């Protein structure tokens, strides 16, 4: 179970370090952001089918399917002769990875005794930090030797190995058929097409760009309208209740995750602007994750009052770190610049880590109803994936604004993403101000 979540998280950042080498060999720089967007769109979609797959195949069978789908997409990426086919492989990867992420938490209750639930959940959750911490460096190591195809092949091999581990570790019998809730297809389609249009706009020119972006924004509004009317929507109903702070909790999560999305492009900027080797650029890309993990470990034991203060402060620290990093980008940067960038990126990641562990607790307290509180807390992960998906799509446009200048592209992307992250500052204030009144609201 932990291996599945680790594959999802590591692959996201592992690939970020490989993509500069992929583009250098295959071309298709205009599809750079699509490699992340396709993966995330597919992952978000797949998570919505976790319950149905479990009901049909049981925990063991579900994991086998998820690992095999992931391995198939990874193998396709490894063999890709063109960037477009690599993007297709990433989409198939995302389907498997999304299932693995959902299964990682959904199967704990079914296959482990109750005294292990807390420790198992902690272990599975920790895999997100492990993936973001080691993924960029490992990807950079493969890229250092021009072995990006071998990197994807190795990842596929790990997935196949975990198929055999699954067959031995998890029960094969199918559980009792769970109660099926309707899947919110209209909301999912609206969200997926929104991200696709945002990514597509980065490959267009002229009047098509604003038209495509306007269409994407209209679809995003349609997503919220459809989701608000659906009792089984992507987000819980509490998020749409007037006066309930849950919406502000989610917007804070989205702002923090928007900033972390910039990690996917840091190795590229490190190579283009500082002439860093792939492994050094990969380590630079891991700096926000190191800050995130370090601050999170130090923040989890904070009391109620300190937790509220850290949620309010976290987005400010993230914005300050990324804004300074973006403003200090320059061509022909040297080792001193790399060191300063690493410190600033560590600071930005620390802002996420000091706030993030307390946001799930804030979501749980959005309602006095235990079932509603659990659903609200679970949707924090959904919000994270949605934020990653939309920001990755927007990033393609920000890169395009820089034209052929790597420096301009870096500044457009970093400062543009920082502006999105800044939305989390007022959201955090509103989330913490209304937290004590959350339980009084009714759906």
Cβ proximity of 39 and 94 under 8 Å: yes
- Rounded to the nearest 5 percent, the helix, strand and coil shares of the chain are 80, 0, 20
| CA–CA gap between residue 292 and residue 85 (Å, rounded) | 33
Q: Tell me the domain boundaries of the chain.
A: 1-180, 184-231, 236-443
Q: Which two tokens stand for residue 157?
A: 């091999």
DSSP letter at 404 equals T
Provide Rg for the chain, Cα atoms: 21
Nearest CA to 291 among 267, 326, 256?
256
Provide the 3-class DSSP secondary structure of residue 241. coil
Nearest CA to 219 among 185, 198, 191?
191
What is the secondary structure of 279-335 as a DSSP string? HHHHHHHHHHHHHHHHHHHHHTT--HHHHHHHHHHHHHHHHHHHHHHHHT--TT--H
pLDDT in the model for residue 119:
62
pLDDT in the model for residue 227:
87
405-412 contact pairs (CB < 8 A, 24+) = 406/269, 406/272, 406/273, 406/331, 407/273, 407/329, 407/330, 407/331, 410/265, 410/269, 410/272, 410/273, 410/326, 410/329, 411/326, 411/327, 411/329
pLDDT in the model for residue 129:
66
Nearest CA to 322 among 273, 280, 262, 272?
262
| CA–CA gap between residue 425 and residue 417 (Å, rounded) | 14
pLDDT in the model for residue 378:
59
pLDDT in the model for residue 415:
93
pLDDT in the model for residue 323:
94
Q: Which residues of the chain have pLDDT under 70?
A: 33, 48, 51, 105-106, 109-110, 114-115, 117-123, 125-126, 129, 132-133, 136, 172-181, 199, 202-203, 300, 360-361, 364-365, 367-378, 381, 434-443
Phi, psi of 171 (to 5 degrees): -65, 145
pTM of the model: 0.72
pLDDT in tens, 289-331: 788 878 877 776 777 788 788 889 999 999 999 999 999 998 8
Q: Which two tokens stand for residue 60?
A: 């063991």
| CA–CA gap between residue 280 and residue 98 (Å, rounded) | 30
| CA–CA gap between residue 5 and residue 21 (Å, rounded) | 26
pLDDT in the model for residue 438:
42
| CA–CA gap between residue 384 and residue 155 (Å, rounded) | 24
| The two domains 1-180 and 236-443 share their CATH topology (first three levels equal) | yes
Length of the chain as a residue count: 443
pLDDT in tens, 95-142: 998 888 878 766 776 677 766 765 666 567 667 767 766 776 788 788
Q: Which two tokens stand for residue 201?
A: 């706009």
Phi, psi of 299 (to 5 degrees): -95, -20
CATH architecture type of domain 236-443: Up-down Bundle (1.20)
DSSP letter at 179 equals P
| CA–CA gap between residue 202 and residue 210 (Å, rounded) | 10
Kindly report the CATH number that applies to the domain delimited by 1-180: 1.20.1250.20
pLDDT in the model for residue 125:
63
């Amino acid at each position: 179970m932990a291996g599945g979540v680790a594959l999802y998280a590591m692959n996201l950042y592992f690939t970020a370090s490989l993509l500069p080498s992929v583009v250098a060999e295959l071309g298709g720089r205009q599809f750079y952001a699509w490699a992340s967007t396709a993966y995330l769109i597919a992952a978000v979609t797949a998570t919505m089918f976790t319950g149905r797959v479990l009901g049909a195949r049981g925990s063991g069978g579900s994991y086998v399917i998820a690992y095999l789908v992931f391995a198939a997409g990874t193998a396709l990426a490894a063999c890709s002769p063109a960037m477009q086919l690599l993007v297709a492989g990433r989409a198939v990867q995302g389907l498997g990875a999304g299932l693995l992420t959902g299964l990682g938490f959904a199967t704990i209750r079914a296959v482990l005794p109750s005294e292990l639930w807390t420790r198992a959940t902690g272990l599975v959750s920790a895999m997100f930090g492990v993936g973001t911490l080691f993924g960029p460096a490992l990807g950079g190591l493969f890229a250092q030797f021009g072995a990006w195809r071998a990197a994807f092949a190795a990842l596929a091999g790990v997935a196949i190995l975990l198929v055999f581990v699954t067959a031995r570790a998890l029960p094969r019998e199918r559980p009792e058929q769970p109660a099926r809730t309707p899947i919110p297809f209209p909301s999912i389609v609206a969200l997926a097409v929104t991200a696709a249009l945002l990514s597509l706009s980065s490959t267009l020119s002229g009047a098509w760009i604003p038209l495509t972006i306007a269409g994407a924004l209209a679809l995003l509004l349609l997503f919220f309208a459809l989701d608000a009317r659906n009792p089984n929507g992507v987000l819980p109903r509490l998020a749409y209740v007037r006066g309930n702070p849950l919406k502000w909790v989610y917007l804070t999560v989205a702002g923090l995750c928007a900033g972390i999305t910039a990690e996917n492009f840091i190795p590229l900027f490190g190579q283009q602007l500082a002439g860093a080797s792939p492994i050094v650029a990969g380590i630079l890309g891991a700096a926000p994750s190191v800050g995130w993990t370090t601050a999170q470990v130090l923040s989890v034991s904070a009391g109620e009052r300190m937790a509220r203060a850290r949620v309010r402060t976290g987005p400010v620290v993230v914005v300050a770190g990324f804004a300074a990093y973006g403003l200090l980008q320059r061509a022909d940067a040297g080792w001193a610049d790399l060191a300063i960038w690493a410190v600033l990126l560590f600071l930005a990641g620390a802002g996420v880590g000091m706030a993030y562990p307390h946001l799930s607790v804030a979501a749980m307290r959005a309602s006095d109803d235990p079932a509603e509180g659990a659903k609200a807390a679970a949707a924090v992960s959904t919000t994270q994936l949605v934020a990653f998906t939309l920001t990755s799509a927007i990033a393609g446009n920000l890169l395009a604004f820089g034209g052929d200048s790597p420096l301009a592209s870096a500044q457009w992307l970093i400062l543009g993403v920082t502006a999105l992250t800044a939305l989390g500052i007022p959201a955090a204030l509103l989330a913490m101000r209304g937290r004590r009144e959350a339980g009084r609201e009714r759906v």
